[in-house]
């Protein structure tokens, strides 16, 4: 009798020590997870699970204790064995960070810039993890952009952000230098932007120009005669005037910029994880109530579920989450609950993909070194690329002409019908050209007012949103990174006050439009 | 005494009910409180167990802190993160701690001293958060294990020379020739590392920072006191050598304490700050315990109890911040006065305890230690003065940088604390501030 009881107690103890975790989720933690969108999934369809680059995840504490020490010893022995050799062994050595201080979702220019600025200031004080689903950045807006930087905006904060962006670009060789690696080179061509205006748009041009000069941009207003004198290879029949940037405007190589930012961030200690965020767990902050209504109880992002390359799903707990996923921000916002919850959470993030084409053509007698990035009043633009007679051009389509975003195919008819005639009219030497190549990229298009959304979400108190730049994200990446860093570390915007760009303007329906020149 | 030891062992069987085990802890604590009979050398004698004034206070401390540990680890119960295994681990740890303090036999003391490491390791590796906890566990395990192996040898030699290892009947090594100095170092080294002393303290910041709140509280609250307790038991056996060699420990602790206090001012992780402050406090305890005059020994015991309550309370407060903000970094969890104003009061009270402000127990102990250390040598004024000064500096720094300033998020509302949290804080603070009135209870009664 005593023997049987003691055996029962013993077997209960053993079962307790070695069983796996029971999945009971308490009411405090609710998980929102949606199936990922279809067009995104080709990369993540795995036929079989490959070996993970991360160590195994144990649940039971006893097994965790034994397993973790066993894996540690194995990893140590493997390192000794592989000293100097490159061998692929079965025992993975990297530990998956299950906790971090700042989680940045999206590793493009904005995400990497935020990571760089935060880590540069915080150094060892913050553990920063960036989740990027495509390390080749094949569909990222950053790498497919034309890479221009200009101060010719009509909103003061945009001008200031771009001014800092240009200054940052000039200092890249010093700031982003990594010891032991090639010096950073982003091919900054400071040739300026030339914004042209017809008679109808001159008032707006004056107004914008005045604001830009006030904020310190080095821009010049040119009359039609001055334009004809300065750019004899263009014709300005329908133009009344233009603004050209003397300094701090031009173009650079966005892929190289992203690469340098990422390299420096990794060198400082930021961890980049290749994986796709497929869900979030949020946590209700019971004691924080904004209004006296259940639907506006403040939430916090607790953990993010990440699907790794080999199909494993892991969770990362974070203190602050930063949504910098560009064109995918609307979808990821829905995963968190923005757009499907009640009250303040019912407004979705109005960012979606918009396809834009960039065409590269060659011509014999085209403009040489004095060619700026010319923007016509109807939005068609072109710029010089290199010194061999190559040019980039493109045009933002109207609402009716918006292409479908299902693929990355280029519509050459659009060039023939809508871009080439305008180019040829402006620059006679472009009448004879040969299209070398073209590509399609996606804007993280803010359907609300085409300006960036930067700020903390009012109902999710630890979620930063930094997205929706609608085509001018690459030039503002440095400024936005610095602004988010100031907001987190100093609790206020210190250099450029971006309070007007917060998510609140979308909930309160107060758009912040750029006044475009016609 | 055996009833308390076995009582704490069989408390593991109640692991199904979290509340039941907490109740059991309180009951055992209250019952043991009634056994305050230390007007003779040892009381409550039993098979290998007994208690005198020193073990009485520390067994009470270990029951109390374990109770607070169970109350503060409610998150493990809520998330159902193997809560039964957790309670079992805590109860086993409690059992080994009680056995350590209650044993009258030095070998039993040694065995339970080592055995208490294993549940601590499981707590750190099993419920800790960051990947660095692996290194932290290894450091703690190997530092303590390696340092205590010479102690085992020394106990065997003591047994060989004296025929018994029962406390009070152990052979007292009266000479002070070279071999006796080696013997003394071998015996005392384990406790020097456990306390820890300045140059062997590397395991402490790692283990405290990476442990979950339960691990941190029990480490700061009781496990460091094992070192002090062992020192106070072993040093009287080597009184001749000790009086010749204690200058080593006093100098290293005082200078090291000042250096560690300066390092506190550089920390970004709040837990690391508290961990380094523990090293500074225990440095003072070490000085008092090795100088071994009356004021020193009493001051050491009083500071041990006071520091146990205070550090454990501070670790609990940091865990409260962590549960709300999910970050321990001072860069994110600053400006807490804006979002948790009531907790700022508790932060202040416990920080005041940490810097030995009246009327806390820490003040009583620190004054006793200052008297003891200065009495031993006048030069120590520099060391102990700087130590006291810097302890106020880093505590004020901790309070100011965590509470004052702006919070990164503009939510115009406050987190109130939960009643359980207020209870735990009160249970930390009340003994710390009321027990100085019965300070004479903790003095040796001859």
Any idea what DSSP says for residue A315? E
What pLDDT was estimated at residue A342? Answer: 81
Q: How many angstroms separate the CA of residue B253 from the nearest CA in chain A?
A: 28
A461 → chain B, closest CA residue: B409
Give the one of A287, A302, A456 whose C-beta lies nearest to B409's C-beta: A456
Q: How far apart are CA B381 and CA B258, in angstroms?
A: 12
Residues of chain B numbered 196-235 and touching chain A (CB < 8 Å): none
Strands (E), B90-150: none
Mean pLDDT (chain A, rounded): 85
Half-sphere exposure of B211 (CA within 13 A, CB side): 32
Q: Does B164 touch chain A (CB under 8 A)?
A: no
Helix (H, G, I), strand (E, B) or coil at A402: coil
Pair B235, B343 in one domain: yes
Q: Which of B71, B87, B104 is the last residue of a domain?
A: B104
Q: How far apart are CA B345 and CA A44, in angstroms?
A: 51
Q: Whose structure tokens read 């702006």?
A: B406
Contact A126, A101 (CB under 8 A): yes
Pair B186, B44 in one domain: no
Pair B227, B347 in one domain: yes
Helix (H, G, I), strand (E, B) or coil at A434: strand
Q: Does B419 touch chain A (CB under 8 A)?
A: no
In sequence order, which residues have a C-beta less than 8 Å from that of residue B322 and are 6 or more positions away?
A: B213, B328, B333
Q: Does B415 touch chain A (CB under 8 A)?
A: yes
pLDDT tens string A285-319: 877 766 655 656 778 888 899 998 888 899 999 99
CB contact under 8 A, B408 and A64: no
Q: How far apart are CA A442 and CA A145, in angstroms?
A: 8
B76 → chain A, closest CA residue: A26
CB contact under 8 A, A61 and B331: no
Bridge pairing between strands A128-132 and A219-223: unpaired
Question: A242 forms bridges with which residues in the sheet?
Answer: A196, A222
- Asked whether residue A340 carries a pLDDT value surpassing 60, the answer given is yes
Q: How far apart are CA B317 and CA B328, in angstroms?
A: 11
Q: Which helix (H) or strand (E) holds A149?
A: strand A148-149
CB contact under 8 A, A65 and B330: no
Q: Which helix (H) or strand (E) holds B246?
A: helix B239-264
Letter string b/e over residues A274-296, b meaning 16 or more CB atoms within 10 A of that residue's CB: bbbbbbbbbbbbebbebeeeeeb
Q: Does A345 touch chain B (CB under 8 A)?
A: no
Q: How far apart are CA B328 and CA B334, in angstroms?
A: 10
CB contact under 8 A, B330 and A72: no
Mean pLDDT, residues A167-176: 93
pTM: predicted TM-score of the whole model, two decimal places: 0.89
Q: How many angstroms separate the CA of residue A172 from the nearest CA in chain B?
A: 26
Any idea what DSSP says for residue A415? I
Q: How far apart are CA B313 and CA B308, in angstroms?
A: 8
Mean pLDDT, residues A420-426: 90
What pLDDT was estimated at residue A215? Answer: 93
CB contact under 8 A, B125 and A491: no
The per-residue DSSP string of A117-134 comes to: HHHHHHGGG--EEEEES-
Helix (H, G, I), strand (E, B) or coil at B105: strand
What pLDDT was estimated at residue B430? Answer: 95
Q: How far apart are CA A157 and CA A215, in angstroms?
A: 9
- Asked whether residue A23 carries a pLDDT value surpassing 50, the answer given is no
Q: Does A68 touch chain B (CB under 8 A)?
A: yes
Bridge pairing between strands A381-385 and A463-467: unpaired
- Choice between A25 and B404, residue whose per-residue pLDDT is larger: B404
CB contact under 8 A, A61 and B413: no
In sequence order, which residues have a C-beta less than 8 Å from that of residue B43 and are 6 or more positions away?
A: B35, B37, B50, B51, B52
Compute the count of residue pairs across chains A and B with CB atoms less than 8 Å apart.
121
Question: A442 forms bridges with which residues in the sheet?
Answer: A355
Residues in chain A with CB shorter than 8 Å from the CB of B79 are: 26, 29
- Asked whether residue A16 carries a pLDDT value surpassing 70, the answer given is no
Give the one of A65, A319, A491 whose C-beta lies nearest to B335's C-beta: A491
- Asked whether residue A26 carries a pLDDT value surpassing 50, the answer given is no
Pair B320, B292 in one domain: yes
Give the one of B78, B81, B84 whose C-beta lies nearest to A16's C-beta: B84
CB contact under 8 A, B335 and A22: no
Q: How far apart are CA A447 and CA A451, in angstroms?
A: 9
Helix (H, G, I), strand (E, B) or coil at A495: coil
Residues of chain A numbered 299-318 and touching chain B (CB < 8 Å): 300, 302, 317-318
Mean pLDDT, residues A29-41: 34
Pair B62, B187 in one domain: no
Bridge pairing between strands A390-394 and A434-446: unpaired
- Choice between A371 and A17, residue whose per-residue pLDDT is larger: A371
Question: A355 forms bridges with which residues in the sheet?
Answer: A442
What pLDDT was estimated at residue A43? Answer: 44
Contact B226, B116 (CB under 8 A): yes
Please state, as a whole number, how many other Cβ atoms lie within 10 Å of the Cβ of residue B178: 9
pLDDT tens string A446-475: 999 999 999 999 888 899 999 999 988 999
Angle at A496 (CA atoms; ends A494, A497), nearest 5 degrees? 80
Question: A314 forms bridges with which residues in the sheet?
Answer: A306
- Asked whether residue A21 carries a pLDDT value surpassing 50, the answer given is no
Contact B64, B32 (CB under 8 A): no
The per-residue DSSP string of A340-358 comes to: TSSGGGGSPP-EEEEEEEE
Q: Does A70 touch chain B (CB under 8 A)?
A: no
Pair B78, B187 in one domain: no
Q: Distances from the Cα of A188 to the Cαs of A220, A248, A386, A473, in angstroms? A: 20, 10, 11, 16
Q: Does B92 touch chain A (CB under 8 A)?
A: no
Percent residues over pLDDT 90 in chain A: 50
What pLDDT was estimated at residue B196? Answer: 93
- Asked whether residue A88 carries a pLDDT value surpassing 60, the answer given is no
Residues in chain A with CB shorter than 8 Å from the CB of B324 are: 285
Q: Does A125 touch chain B (CB under 8 A)?
A: yes
- Asked whether residue A244 carries a pLDDT value surpassing 60, the answer given is yes
Q: How far apart are CA A430 and CA A421, in angstroms?
A: 9
The per-residue DSSP string of B207-239 comes to: HHHHS-HHHHHHIIIIIHHHHHHHHHHHGGGGH
Q: How many angstroms separate the CA of residue B140 from the nearest CA in chain A?
A: 13
Q: How many angstroms separate the CA of residue B58 from the nearest CA in chain A?
A: 29
- Asked whether residue A201 carries a pLDDT value surpassing 70, the answer given is yes
Tell the burial category of A359 from Cβ atoms under 10 Å away from its Cβ (0-12, 13-18, 19+).
buried
Q: Does A346 touch chain B (CB under 8 A)?
A: no
pLDDT tens string B319-375: 999 988 888 899 998 888 888 888 999 999 999 999 999 899 999 999 999 999 999
**Testing the interface with B: which of A15, A62, A319, A503 to mutate, by most B Cβ within 10 A?**
A319
Q: How confident is the model at residue A29 (pLDDT cuts 50, 70, 90)?
A: very low
Question: A393 forms bridges with which residues in the sheet?
Answer: A359, A382
Q: Which of B78, B104, B130 is the last residue of a domain?
A: B104
Pair B271, B215 in one domain: yes
Residue B372 corresponds to which tokens in the numbers above?
């003891």
Q: Which of B79, B104, B129 is the last residue of a domain?
A: B104
Residues in chain A with CB shorter than 8 Å from the CB of B412 are: 290
Residues in chain B with CB shorter than 8 Å from the CB of A24 are: 80
CB contact under 8 A, A125 and B268: yes
Q: Does A456 touch chain B (CB under 8 A)?
A: yes
Q: Distances from the Cα of A402 to the Cαs of A114, A147, A269, A293, B206, in angstroms? A: 31, 22, 41, 41, 57
- CA A110 from chain centre, in angstroms, equals 4
Contact A293, A345 (CB under 8 A): no
- Asked whether residue A86 carries a pLDDT value surpassing 70, the answer given is no
Residues of chain A numbered 7-46 and touching chain B (CB < 8 Å): 9, 13, 16-17, 21-22, 24, 26, 28-29
B267 → chain A, closest CA residue: A125
What pLDDT was estimated at residue A290? Answer: 62
CB contact under 8 A, B414 and A287: yes
Pair B46, B117 in one domain: no
Helix (H, G, I), strand (E, B) or coil at B31: helix
Any idea what DSSP says for residue B58? H
B331 → chain A, closest CA residue: A489
Contact A139, A340 (CB under 8 A): no
Q: How many angstroms separate the CA of residue B128 from the nearest CA in chain A?
A: 10
Pair B191, B266 in one domain: yes
Q: How far apart are CA B22 and CA B86, in angstroms?
A: 13
Quote the number of domains for chain B: 2
Among A341, A288, A3, A273, smallest CA distance to A128 is for: A273
CB contact under 8 A, B330 and A317: no
Residues in chain A with CB shorter than 8 Å from the CB of B129 are: 98-99, 317
Q: How far apart are CA B410 and CA B383, in angstroms?
A: 45
- CA A131 from chain centre, in angstroms, equals 11
Mean pLDDT, residues A24-44: 35
Contact B64, B27 (CB under 8 A): no
Bridge pairing between strands A463-467 and A453-456: antiparallel
The per-residue DSSP string of B390-416 comes to: HHHHHHHHHHHHHHSS--SS---S-PP
Pair B161, B147 in one domain: yes
Q: Does B145 touch chain A (CB under 8 A)?
A: no
Q: Is the peptide bond prior to B316 cis by the omega test (within 30 degrees of 0)?
A: no
What pLDDT was estimated at residue A13? Answer: 61
Q: How far apart are CA B214 and CA B195, in angstroms?
A: 19
Q: How many angstroms separate the CA of residue A230 from the nearest CA in chain B?
A: 50
Angle between helices A254-268 and A109-122 in degrees, nearest 10 = 30
Pair B80, B210 in one domain: no
Q: Does A319 touch chain B (CB under 8 A)?
A: yes
In sequence order, which residues have a C-beta less than 8 Å from that of residue B104 and are 6 or more positions away?
A: B42, B45, B48, B49, B50, B166, B167, B168
Q: How far apart are CA A123 and CA A267, in angstroms?
A: 11
Pair B241, B276 in one domain: yes
Q: Which residues of chain B have pLDDT under 50?
A: 446
Q: Does A490 touch chain B (CB under 8 A)?
A: yes
The parent domain of residue B401 ranges over 105-442
Q: Whose structure tokens read 């040892």?
A: B42
Any idea what DSSP says for residue B176? -
């Amino acid at each position: 009798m005593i023997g049987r009881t003691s055996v029962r107690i013993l077997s209960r103890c053993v079962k307790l020590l070695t069983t796996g975790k029971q999945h009971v989720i308490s009411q405090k933690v609710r998980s929102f997870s949606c199936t990922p969108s279809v067009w995104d999934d080709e990369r993540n369809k795995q036929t079989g699970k490959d070996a993970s680059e991360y160590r195994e995840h144990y649940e039971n504490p006893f097994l965790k204790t034994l397993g973790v020490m066993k894996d540690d010893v194995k990893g140590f022995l493997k390192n000794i064995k592989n000293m100097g050799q490159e061998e692929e062994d079965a025992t993975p050595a990297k530990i998956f960070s299950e906790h971090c201080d700042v989680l940045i979702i999206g590793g493009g220019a904005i995400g990497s810039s935020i990571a760089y600025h935060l880590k540069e200031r915080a150094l060892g004080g913050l553990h920063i993890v960036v989740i990027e689903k495509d390390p080749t950045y094949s569909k990222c807006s950053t790498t497919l952009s034309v890479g221009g930087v200009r101060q010719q905006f009509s909103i003061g904060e945009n001008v200031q952000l771009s001014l800092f962006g240009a200054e940052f670009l000039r200092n890249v060789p010093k700031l982003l230098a990594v010891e032991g690696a090639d010096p950073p080179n982003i091919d900054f061509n400071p040739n300026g932007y030339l914004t042209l205006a017809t008679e109808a748009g001159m008032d707006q041009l004056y107004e914008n120009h005045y604001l830009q000069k006030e904020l310190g941009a080095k821009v010049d207003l040119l009359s039609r005669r001055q334009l004809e004198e300065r750019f004899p290879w263009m014709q300005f029949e329908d133009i009344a005037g233009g603004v050209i940037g003397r300094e701090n405007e031009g173009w650079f190589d966005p892929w190289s910029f992203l690469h340098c930012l990422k390299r420096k961030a990794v060198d400082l200690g930021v961890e980049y994880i290749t994986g796709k965020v497929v869900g979030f767990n949020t946590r209700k902050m019971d004691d924080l109530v904004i209004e006296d209504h259940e639907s506006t109880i403040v939430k916090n992002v607790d953990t993010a579920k990440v699907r790794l390359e080999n199909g494993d799903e892991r969770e990362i707990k974070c203190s602050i989450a930063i949504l910098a996923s560009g064109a995918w921000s609307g979808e990821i916002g829905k995963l968190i609950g923005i757009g499907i919850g009640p009250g303040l959470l019912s407004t979705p993030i109005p960012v979606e993909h918009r396809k834009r084409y960039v065409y590269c053509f060659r011509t014999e007698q085209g403009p040489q070194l004095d060619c700026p990035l010319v923007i016509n009043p109807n939005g068609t633009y072109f710029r010089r690329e290199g010194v061999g007679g190559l040019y980039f051009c493109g045009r933002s389509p109207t609402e009716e002409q918006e292409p479908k975003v299902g693929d990355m195919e280029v519509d050459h008819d659009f060039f023939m019908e809508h871009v080439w005639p305008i180019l040829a009219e402006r620059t006679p030497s472009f009448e004879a050209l040969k299209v070398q190549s073209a590509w399609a990229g996606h804007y993280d298009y803010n359907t609300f007012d085409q300006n960036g959304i930067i700020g903390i979400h009012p109902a999710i108190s630890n979620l930063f949103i930094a997205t929706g730049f609608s085509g001018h994200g690459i030039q503002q990446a440095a400024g936005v990174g610095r602004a988010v860093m100031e907001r987190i570390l100093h609790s206020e915007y210190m250099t450029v006050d971006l309070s007007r760009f917060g998510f609140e303007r979308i909930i309160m329906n107060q758009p912040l439009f750029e006044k475009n020149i016609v | 005494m055996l009833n308390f030891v076995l009582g704490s062992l069989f408390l593991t069987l109640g692991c199904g009910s979290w509340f039941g085990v907490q109740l059991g802890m309180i009951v055992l604590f209250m019952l043991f409180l009634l056994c305050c009979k230390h007007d003779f050398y040892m009381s409550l004698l039993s098979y290998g167990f007994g208690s005198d004034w020193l073990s009485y206070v520390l067994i009470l401390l270990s029951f109390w802190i374990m109770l607070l540990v169970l109350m503060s680890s409610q998150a493990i119960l809520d998330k159902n993160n193997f809560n039964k295994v957790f309670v079992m681990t805590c109860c086993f740890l409690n059992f080994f701690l009680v056995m350590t303090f209650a044993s009258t036999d030095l070998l039993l003391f040694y065995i339970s001293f080592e055995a208490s490491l294993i549940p601590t390791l499981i707590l750190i590796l099993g419920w800790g958060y960051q990947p660095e906890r692996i290194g932290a566990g290894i450091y703690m395990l190997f530092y303590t294990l390696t340092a205590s192996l010479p102690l085992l040898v020394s106990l065997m030699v003591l047994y060989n020379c004296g025929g018994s290892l029962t406390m009070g009947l152990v052979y007292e090594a009266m000479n002070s020739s070279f071999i006796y100095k080696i013997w003394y170092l071998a015996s005392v080294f384990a406790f020097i590392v456990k306390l820890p002393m300045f140059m062997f303290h590397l395991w402490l910041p790692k283990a405290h920072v990476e442990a979950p709140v339960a691990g941190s509280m029990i480490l700061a609250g009781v496990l460091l006191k094992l070192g002090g307790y062992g020192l106070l038991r072993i040093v009287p056996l080597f009184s001749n050598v000790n009086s010749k060699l204690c200058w080593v420990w006093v100098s290293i602790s005082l200078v090291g304490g000042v250096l560690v206090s300066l390092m506190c001012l550089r920390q970004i992780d709040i837990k690391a700050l508290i961990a380094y402050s523990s090293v500074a406090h225990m440095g003072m305890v070490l000085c008092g315990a090795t100088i071994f005059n009356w004021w020193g020994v009493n001051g050491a015991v009083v500071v041990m109890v006071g520091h146990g309550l205070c550090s454990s309370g501070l670790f609990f407060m940091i865990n409260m911040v962590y549960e709300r903000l999910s970050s321990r970094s001072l860069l994110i969890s600053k400006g807490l006065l804006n979002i948790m104003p009531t907790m700022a009061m508790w932060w202040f009270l416990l920080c005041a305890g940490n810097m030995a402000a009246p009327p806390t127990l820490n003040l009583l102990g620190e004054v006793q230690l200052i008297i003891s250390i200065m009495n031993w040598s006048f030069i120590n004024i520099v060391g102990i003065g700087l130590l006291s000064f810097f302890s106020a500096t880093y505590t004020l720094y901790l309070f100011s940088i965590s509470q004052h300033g702006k919070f990164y998020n503009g939510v115009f509302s406050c987190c109130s604390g939960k009643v359980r949290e207020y209870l735990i804080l009160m249970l930390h603070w009340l003994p710390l501030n009321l027990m100085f009135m019965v300070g004479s209870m903790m003095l040796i009664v001859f």
